[in-house]
Structure formats: structure tokens, C-alpha cells
A and B are shown apart, each in its own frame.
Chain A
Amino acid sequence: MPTPRVCVLRAPGTNCDRETAFAFEKAGGAAERLHLFRLMENPDSLRDFEILCLPGGFSYGDDIGAGVVFASQFRTRLAAAIAEFLQRDTLVLGICNGFQVLLKAGLLPGGADSFRVASDAEPDATLTWNSSGRYTDQWVTLRNCSSSNVFLKDVNLLECPIAHAEGRIVVRDESVLSEWEKQGQIALRYTTASGELSPKKLIPPPANPNGSIWNIAGLGDPTGRVLGLMPHPERYLFATQHPQWTRKQLSGDGAGLKIFENAIGYFE
């Protein structure tokens, strides 16, 4: 297999594209930072890629809601190209603002299936204001709750930072949660530093930093080829990014790199 090609798609206001592209390159991929306007001019160019990544930032300023305008481009001008991309054996990763876009575009939680019907159906879930009402930057501990998600292969606990104001998952009807759980779609949950398992009961902050229902930090689609998460694994590529690397005497690579290696490894 040749080197997998990664499209790191940036819109006006995207700001984590450089380090996210760097993460894929470090993991062995060939990453291109593609501007959304270029893709809208030529949606077929998505055919050149195996992995689509929506990095963090404030697309369109998040002015009318986090990820809303970017998501609206997905549902309108890019709908056909995205649907075609999902039909192939491809991967999609949305980090922070990228996760907000995937969810609001209907590409999550159902992947290709929910994306197809997204414009007509009422969405099951949204990402909205943290219960604190404010933007927060802090480190969290995540537990992998999905055996099927490609990005999370061999990951158990993962530490990385969050940096957002609208990261709380809210659902229209709680019955959808068990459905997600059954399908392995609840990919990542916030947990305490010791990794304590508390799947459904809300863990108080700072462990669950935003009050997300069932402590959900990331969602996948039923095939495990799509992942959206609020925390930033691309901010833990090196040991020295860990807030306690001087205490724990860490060195070398950071654990967040694994997410990107799994994505590249999928195509080997």
C-alpha cells in the first residue's frame, strides 16, 4: 500500500491544521492542508485522499454556533462528494471544532447512513455550551469504550487536553444512548485520573469538564471508520506536552500519536 493521503480540511477560522497535518506526517501519512474553498471549487478532489480530517479551530468564528456554517457547506455544496467519500474504504476524523462539524452535518453519529438523511431528519444530538458556561483549557483522561473504532485500536486510557466552550453532548431522547452503546459508537468517555469506570453517572468537573451526558467525549459511527472527539490528541505528540512531564520524567513520543498511527496503520 502506498502512503495514505490525508486531507486536513481547513475553513476560514480553522487553527489547528498545521499541527494536525504534522501529526499525520509523523505517523507516516502524506498530509495536505486543503482549503475548504478549493474543495468546493472541485469536490472531486476528495477522491485523491484516503483520510479526511477536520481539525480544531473556530470555523467561521463559530459565530452562529460551533461548526454550524462549515457543517452547512457539507450538507449543501459538498454533500455528493462526502457521500461518495464515505462509500469508499476511507476514514474520517473530526477533532474539537471538527467533531462539532461532523455532528452538525449529520456525518455523526450514524456515518454514511445518518449523513444521507441529515437534511430532512431532526438530529438526535448536539454539542452545546459547557455547563460552566465558559471556555476551558485543561487536561482530561479518556477511556476507550469502543472495540470497533479504527482510531482507538489498542488504546485503553488516553490523556490529552480539551480547549472548548461548546463540548457538552445533549441528546433529544436518551434512548439513543443505549443504541449508540450497543453499536460501539460511544467511543471515548471522560474518566477520573485513575481511570475509574462510571459510564452513565455524570462525573463532576474537572474530570468531565463540560457536563457531557454519559461522560461522552467522542462518538464514532457504527462501522468504526468515523471518529469525532472534543479533546485534542494532536496536542500530545511529544512527552513534553504532558502537563506533568517534569514530575513523571517522561520523554520521547506522546500517547496522542497513537490515534494518528492507527489511522495510517489501517491502510497497511
Chain B
Amino acid sequence: MASAASGGHRLNGAIFLSGILNYYLQSCFALYLHTDPHMLWEVEIHPGSGEKDLDGAHVQHEVQLRGLESIRSVRAARSYLIEGELSDADLQKATRLLGDPVAEKTQVRKLPDNSTATNGTRLLNVLFKPGVTDNVGMTARDALKGIGLPAERVSICRKYWINADAQAEHVDRLSGRILSNDAIERVVEGPLTLTTLSIDSDYNFELRTVPIREMDDNALARLSKEGQLYLSLVEMQTIQRYFQELERDPTDIELETVAQTWSEHCSHKTLAGRIAYRDENGERRFENMLKETVFAATQTIRKSLGDGDWCVSVFKDNAGIVTFSETEDVCIKVETHNHPSALEPYGGANTGLGGVIRDPMGTGLGARPVCNTDVFCFAPPDTPYDAIPPGVLHPNTVMHGVVSGVRDYGNRMGIPTVNGAVYFDKRYLGNPLVYCGNVAMIPRGKSEKQVLNGDYIVAVGGRTGRDGIHGATFSSAELTHESEELSGGAVQIGNPITEKMILDVILEARDRGLYHAITDCGAGGFSSAVGEMGEESGAEVWLEKAPLKYAGLSYTEIWISEAQERMVLAVPPATWEEFRSLCESEGVEATVIGEFTDTHRLVLKYDGQQVGDLAMSFLHDGRPPVVREATWQPPQQTELNGADLGRMNFGETLKRILSSLNVCSKESIIRQYDHEVQAGSVIKPLVGIANDGPSDAAVVRPDLTSERGLVISCGMNPNYGDLDPYWMAACAIDEAVRNCVAVGADPRKIAILDNFCWGNTERPETLGSLVRAALGCHDVAIAFGTPFVSGKDSLNNEFTWSPDGESSETISIPPSLLITALGQVERVESCVTMDLKQPGNALLLVGETKQELGGSHFNLVHGLTGGAVPQVDLKGAPRVFSCLAEIIRRGLVRSCHDLSEGGLAVAVAEMAFAGGFGAEIDLEPVESVDDLTDIIELFSESNTRFLIEVSPRDIETIREVFVQGAAREPIPLGTVSQEQRLRIRRDGDRELIDESIADLKSAWQRPLAEF
């Protein structure tokens, strides 16, 4: 297998000085203290003769898209900067290792390069900013050392030669927008004149205290903002009081620890807080909103399941756990990584997936990841380049970066990415959403962990650097056009190979029983990992012990760094030696950085000196309760209006919906993900006669010796949220569950997850719409018997900018609730796919069609407003799911597809072109039952509906199953035909749609084919 982002764009993390440090001790810092002479070489690598310059061509394409016409030629190469006492013979060996002798040409030079010859071109070098983790450079250094060469440091560089007469303004845009991301990279023009790669600096310990006791409210607010603590005034006052009572000022590290622990990201203080909610039904007061809605649904379901309760661990660990087989349970977690992905899409998405994979690894005593799911929301890729606000990346750039970031992490970890979706709405322009999820297996009985007094606090994996400082607090902040500058350091860098190595040793250590507890080092770094693990006991940390990427970090930076690929374990002294030696044997670094105590205090030391001492109770329970106002007012329901509905060409409408960005094929993205590694693949994301039809859900076999399968699917539709978030939530759950059931999952055992991404919930109406959605979650989960097992929220997804330099405009994302479903199937061989299989088979419509076009894709493509939002029949829907599952289990269904965006017309079109057969449909039987119009029958997005293909001889048996299950009988609509056309009629002769399936498929495939 092979590497990296196409076009060679490999983006990494960033150096950043902690805000507090910036604020108080900027002057203490100096990079580049070393000025002694070093030997520095550059090994430059070009495509060989006959080989295409892929990176150069990619850049040229981007140049054209942006209309930078004065840049006429772009040639690309990459180089390694190598520092060390290398002889000529050494350099020859290095060159042979680093370049491909068949496909590439190499060239070596000594740096600094003081040559001035330009050859009629301008040279732009793209280098990482100092301190940004350079994985390729590190691998190269180790590999060179491995063959006996004295390479001390290695960095990589991308090089571009453009025509010398390109306009300065175009070159600036090329450098800043196409070649590099300012958050992590810098562009240097001309031959490189560097003399060293060293970034070590001296650090002289000095304890810093913050005189918070004396501050007035203004000073507190300023400290919160400029120190990047992002705490409210009330919270700052609470901290002030705590230290006033202690009669001392806090140290910087204590303040940072409280801010991390109380951050929105770590504590979910808004949704798990007090809320006074008001809607058309009156007022309701929540003490803990999430607990009383989402969690409460799970409690109710578990109670009603009694002895049959299949939840193992919910809402308490890093991931939710449910039972799977006699030997294993299954964990699932879905996270978001929105703010980092907005600033640096590759790194943000890359570490988003890396982070969520560490969640199951740090759940219970550690789980083995088996698949990933990823859902993205972007602004349309055809947004004009000149319509992009300052500080915002073009959606095309965001999309490429995000997809590459997820691809490179999942593929390299060897975890298949099997499910996903991409939604487009112009309101995601400043705030793209990146949801990453992971499913993992854990042996039964390994779901609980307990830290014991005296256990070592052990850091495993990557080293600590300045990357990602303030990620946790930053996620509480609203983005502005200055965010790029202010918080670039919140962008981190991923190294999936390090994480894979950690995974290998952890699973072995778990099975040998070498540790008592484990958690991942995510947002907040050691601060939140140790703080959480030691919450019930106490902990003492020796910060100077943490292995560093480079010298010069202060004790506070070490504590709050969000450097990636780190886990924290509680290892008893008795097994420490065995644990250490296991890690060493696979090249994984493990270090004791402290011990767990029974003092109920968090004590932080640096070189023996105490730098922090906080009561765990203050940290975890000291946050002041805030009552937030939330209101929801139902919008005026309006009739469908806006176009001449009487003279509509339905075939054209169908093609427009198939070509809409949300519905169209995502094959160009899906194929970049390895969806088959681990050999568990049963139902792939693309199915059908040409392996390119859209599957409803993925099925994976996590244990190759068992017939049992996991089913992973999702549901989301922000369009409905504008009408009624309650029903949007209901629709999302219905969609996730019906996707799961459509491939064969047992509806009695589907776990679901919620991920709320919302705008600024300080506004009562924004928070009100979220509460409204949570109420929907509660009611539907109970009705369906689908417990929530985990969830996460991301608030403040708003972007503020000034279009004219004076006024200020805020773009808020639409309410975006992602529901992920994890189902199970007893025998994978009973699963079905959505592609039509056999001419002559009958097509039946399962479920009830209603007048529900509000928020529909029919409205979207015609620019219409109004209509009713789809609702869910809470009594009827579970019966439909149960009957459908029964006929699938009995092998009576040849293909099955759920009806979602675009309704029946889109579903039947997709089934037809995926299967390579036509279909003859007559809507008359629907009308005879429900008396609806053509438009409603074709395009309504009513929930809990499926189209199934069955053998004509089974229709009667199927009918009986539905009758016995007290569900509405499926309606026969027509047949699968040999002819390659989709024909939809009414009353036998009135033609509504008559299109070739090739045309429909092409309409569906075209929009993102070239992505």
C-alpha cells in the first residue's frame, strides 16, 4: 500500500505558545537558540523521465480554478533536508534510500545554497513551521540512522517552480491558498539558505502565579479571553473566590487545569446544565437537560428490557458498550472535530479520526477497532472563490483536505471506513462539520476499570510538544476571521503508525492483565486524562518526566499539550517492568509520569517543586450552575408554493434530485477509503452489478470465526431542522434505523448515538431548537426501543465576519443532528442489498406515504418553500421494522432500499441503475389506498418506508407477516424489467416518468465524479 494525500499535499500540526504564557511570559521564549554551525544537505527528488508530475499538475489545476492566469507553468519536486556529518559516500546511500531509482531523479546540494541562478523561474519552498511534527522527516531520520548514517535531524520540503513573470498578487494567493496552510507551513522563496533544523531551546524553570484575587470583573473577562480560557465571568468569579478562600493566587497551571476541565468540550456544561425551556406546550425546567432526555430514554428502555437488557456500559466511559456475542461486546463512539478542520482541514480531520479511534482503545480496559464511519458537512464546492470571507478556506479545499485526512488515518491504521455521508448547505461555509466514528470489540468482562492507590501514571505513545495547545477551550469559542491567527496552535498533527503500534501493545498488555485502567489523551491532554482518571482517588504528576519532542517546554505546556497518539494508563508497580518491556519490544515509548494517590487532590510537580495543588472536588464539581434560557416557537406552517406545480416534468425533476449534492454518488470519496481491511466486509458501501450503487448500511463481521455481523448506518437531515427540530430528530433516528433494518439488522437490538452540532446556544432560540431536538430523541428512542449509548455535542458553530469592514455578519450552521445506528445480524448470509436482482420480480412499497414535502429535496431543486415536515408514526413504525426484518430473515426479500431524500422516485431509480435492470411502476394502487397526488407519491419524504423486490410467489406470505404484525400491508407497485428503462405510470396509461436507467445513473454520478 502506499502513502499520502494525492498531489503530495501532506499537512501537519503546529507550534503554538499557550495563551496564558503568551500573555504573561512571552519574553522568556526564544527559539533558535542554537547557532553553532551544522552540516545541512538537501536531497531533491523529481519525477523521472516518463513519469507524470502529479503534484505539479494538481497545483496547476487549482491555479486554473482560481483564475490566477499569470501563473502559466508549475513544476513540483520534494526534498529532504538532512542535518549531520555526512560524507559523499553517505549522501549517495541516503539518496538511494530516499529516492526511487527507477521512477525518480535525485539531486544533492549543500545548504545554505547561495546560488542566484533562476533559469527563468521562481522557486517556492514549502516548509513546516518550526516545531510542527514532521512524520516523514522522522521516519527518514530513523531509516538513515538504521543504515548507519549520522543523520541528526531531517525535515521535508515541497518545492515548486513557476514562471518568473507571474504577478506578485497571484503568487501570493498561490503561496497562501494553494501551496501552504499558514496554520502549519511557511513558504520561502528562492534557494534555501537555512543552516540548521534544530529548534531546541532552553527552558529555565520559573513558577508563575496569576494575581486573580485582586482582579475586577473587567480584568477577569480579559484574562479569560486573552488567556484563551474561554470561561464565563461567573466561572471566573468562582475560581477567584476559591483562591481567595485559600488565601493565595493560582499558578498558571492551576488556572489552565480548571479551564480545561470546565470547558464545553470536556464537561458539556450547556447541555448537561440547567435549562429553562419554553415552547408552545408551556414551560419545562431541566436540572440536566441531556440526562432528562437522551439518557432518560436509555434508562427507560433498559428497565423495560429487564433481564434482556443488552446495554453494558453507557454514557460513562469514552465509548458506549453493548453485548455482541458469547465472547465479545461491542463499543461505539462518534466525535466531531469541527473547529480544527475549519482551520486546517487535513490535520483537523486526520486527528479527528485518530482521536475517536483512541476513544474505544481507552474504553473499559481497551477495545480493538473494527471499522470507522465518517460524515461531513460542507458548503457547496461550486461556491465562487470571490464569495469567501477572509479567514475561511474554500469548501473545495476543505473537502479535499478533510477526505484526505480521514483517508490517510483510517487506511494507515488498518481500520476500514465502511459508512458515511456528505451533506451540503451554504451555511457550513465558515463552519464545516467533521463527524468521525469508530466501532470496536472488547472481550466480555473487560468493560470496567479501576485506578488503585499507588498505581503508576504511565504515558504511552507519542512525545509531547507544543502542538494543539488550547484545543479544548478553543472548541468553546466562536470562530472569527481572526481565529486562523489566534488559534492556529489548536491544530494538531496525527501519526497513525504510532497509534497502530500503541494499539498492538495495549491489546497484548490488556490480555496479560498488566494495567488497571486506561484512557486516551484527547482534548486537554494530560490535564484532562489524568484529571478524569484520578477523579475518585487523587493523583500526583511529575511533569519533567514526560518525554518531549524537543527541549524548551514549560511545565504548563507539558500539562495541556494536545500532542497526538498518547494514552494514559494506571499500571501497578508489580507489573510495570513487564509492561515497560512489552512496549519497548515493539518500539513504543512508555514512561512513568506520576502516581495515583488517595488524597482526592491533584498535585502537580516539576523537578520536585510543587506547581499545582487542586482539590478534585473543586475541579469536577466546583463549576457554578448556570440556568440558561431556551425558547422554541413553531414557525408558521405554509402551503407548498413557488412554482407551477401543474406543468412539472417529473423525469427532469427526478434527474435534478439525483444530481443534487446530497443525493449524488460519493464514489470518488468512498473509493479512497480502504473499506475491506481486516477482511470483515459483508455489505460494502457500494453495491450492485457494477459495484457502484448506494448501499443503505454497511455490514461487517468483526470475528472471522463467527457468523454474526455488525450493521452500521446513519441518519441526518438538516433541512427538516429549519421547520421543526423535534421531527428532524425523529426523522434522523428513523432514517438511521431504517437503513440498518434495510440490510437485515434485527430492530430489537439497535443502539444509537447522538451528535448535536449547533450554533451559538447562548441565544435562547438556538438553545431552544436543540432542546426541542433532544425531546424528539427521547420520545422516538423509547418508541423504537433503540437506546442511546453515547453521544457528543459541538456548540457555537458560527462564523462572524465583516463583509464591508464595518457591519458584522454572522453565519450560523443549520441544526445538525447526526444519528448513528449500530445494529446486529445473527447470520451475515441473511443480509440483503439494494440493487435489483431479477426481471419478473415484484416491487412492493412498505410503509405509508403522506403529504410531507416540507424540507424535501423536491422543494430544494425547485426552490420551493412550505409544506409539512415529515413525522414519524411512533406506534406504527416499530411494527413495520419488525415485519420487514422478519421477511428479510426468512430470505423472502431479494433487494430492499429505504425511501429518503427524493422519496419513491429516487429509491426506485437507484435500485434500478444499481442492479442494471429497469422497472415498471404503476402508482394506482397507492392512490387507491391513500388518495394522494402524483407529486406526493413520487417525491414525499415520509418516514419508515422501503421499496422491496420479492419473488411473486412470496407476496402472499409477506402479506400475512404484515397482517400478523399489525402493520400496514405492503402495496404492490410493479415489476423489475429486462428493459433498461424506469417507467412510472398511473392508471396504466398516464405516463409520469419514462427515463433510461443509463441517463438516471449518469445524472447521479456526474456531480462529484471528478472530485
Q: Which residues of A contact B (CB under 8 A)?
A: 12-13, 15-16, 18-19, 22-23, 35, 37-38, 56-58, 60-66, 68-69, 72-73, 76, 96-97, 100, 122-126, 128-129, 131-139, 161, 163-167, 170-172, 232, 234-235, 237-238, 240-241, 243-244, 246-247, 251
Contacts and interface: CB of A to CB of B under 8 A. Distances in A.
Interface stretch (B136-144, B213-221, B377-385): B136-144
A135 B672 contact: yes
A56 B1 contact: yes
Nearest to A129: B54
Contacts of B136: 61, 63-64
Interface in B284-302: none
A29 to B, nearest CB: 15
B614 interface: no
Contact of A137 (B140, B414, B674): B674
A185 to B, nearest CB: 17
Nearest to B412: A58
A166 B104 CA distance: 14
13 contacts: A12-B500, A19-B678, A22-B704, A37-B585, A61-B135, A72-B146, A129-B103, A134-B6, A164-B2, A235-B679, A237-B679, A238-B704, A246-B687
B3 A72 contact: no
Contact of B587 (A16, A37, A125): A37
Given A76-B147, A100-B2, A135-B672, A58 B411 contact: yes
Interface stretch (B94-102, B633-641, B857-865): B94-102
B273 to A, nearest CB: 42
Given A19-B677, A37-B586, A64-B97, 10 more contacts: A12-B501, A15-B500, A56-B1, A58-B3, A58-B414, A69-B142, A133-B58, A137-B672, A166-B2, A246-B832
B585 A97 contact: no
B414 A57 contact: yes
Contacts of B135: 61, 63
B587 A12 contact: yes
Which of B143, B677, B683 has the largest count of A CB atoms less than 10 A from its CB?
Answer: B677
Interface in B363-417: 407, 411-414
B579 interface: no
A172 B50 CA distance: 11
Contacts of A57: 1, 414
B978 interface: no
Contacts of A137: 671-676
Contacts, number: 203
A55 to B, nearest CB: 10
Contacts of B835: 246-247
A122 B101 contact: yes
Contact of A243 (B80, B687, B831): B687
Interface in B32-84: 50-52, 54, 57-58, 80
A238 B704 CA distance: 9
Nearest to A97: B1
A241 B146 contact: no
Contact of B585 (A35, A164, A172): A35
A246 B888 CA distance: 13
Given A134-B672, A138-B671, A165-B4, A244 B681 contact: no
Given A58-B411, A171-B102, A240-B828, A232 B671 contact: no
Interface in B577-617: 585-587
B101 A128 contact: no
Contacts of A163: 1, 411, 674, 676-677
Given A15-B677, A16-B414, A72-B147, A64 B407 contact: no
Given A58-B1, A123-B101, A241-B679, A170 B497 contact: no
Contacts of B915: 247
A161 B676 contact: yes
Contacts of B672: 134-137
B7 interface: yes
A233 B677 CA distance: 11
Contact of B412 (A13, A19, A243): A13
Contacts of A136: 671-672
A234 to B, nearest CB: 6
Contacts of B52: 131, 133
A117 to B, nearest CB: 14
Interface in B811-832: 828-829, 831-832
A135 B411 contact: yes
B677 A16 contact: yes
Interface in B533-555: none
B945 interface: no
Sorting the interface of chain B by its residue count into under 10, 10 to 19, 20 to 34 or 35 or more gives 35 or more
A76 B147 CA distance: 7
Nearest to A232: B676
Contacts of B50: 170
Contacts of B688: 244, 247
B679 A64 contact: no
Nearest to A134: B6
Nearest to B673: A137
B92 interface: no
B3 A165 contact: yes
Given A69-B143, A246-B833, A126 B100 contact: yes
B674 A68 contact: no
A235 B135 CA distance: 29
Interface string B312-348: 0000000000000000000000000000000000000
B687 A72 contact: no
B837 interface: yes
A188 B686 CA distance: 26
Given A58-B411, A131-B52, A240-B829, A19 B679 contact: yes
Contact of A170 (B51, B54, B687, B704): B51
B31 interface: no
B274 to A, nearest CB: 46
A135 B2 contact: yes
B143 A241 contact: no
A15 B678 CA distance: 8
Contacts of A172: 102
Given A37-B585, A243-B687, A69 B146 contact: yes
Contacts of B687: 243-244, 246
Which of B102, B103, B687 has the largest count of A CB atoms less than 10 A from its CB?
Answer: B102
Which of B98, B684, B831 has the largest count of A CB atoms less than 10 A from its CB?
Answer: B684
B689 interface: yes
A114 to B, nearest CB: 14
A12 B54 CA distance: 28
B802 interface: no
B1 A166 contact: yes
Interface string B501-516: 1000000000000000
A61 B495 contact: yes
B86 interface: no
A247 B836 CA distance: 9
B682 interface: yes
B496 interface: yes
A64 B80 CA distance: 10
A65 B414 contact: no
Given A161-B676, A235-B679, A246-B831, A64 B98 contact: yes
Interface string B663-700: 00000000111111111011110111101000000000
B265 interface: no
Nearest to B154: A64
B139 A60 contact: yes
Interface string B426-450: 0000000000000000000000000
A228 to B, nearest CB: 13
Nearest to B836: A247
A189 to B, nearest CB: 20
A38 B80 CA distance: 30
A123 B136 CA distance: 24
B656 interface: no
B54 A133 contact: yes
B701 interface: yes
A42 to B, nearest CB: 12
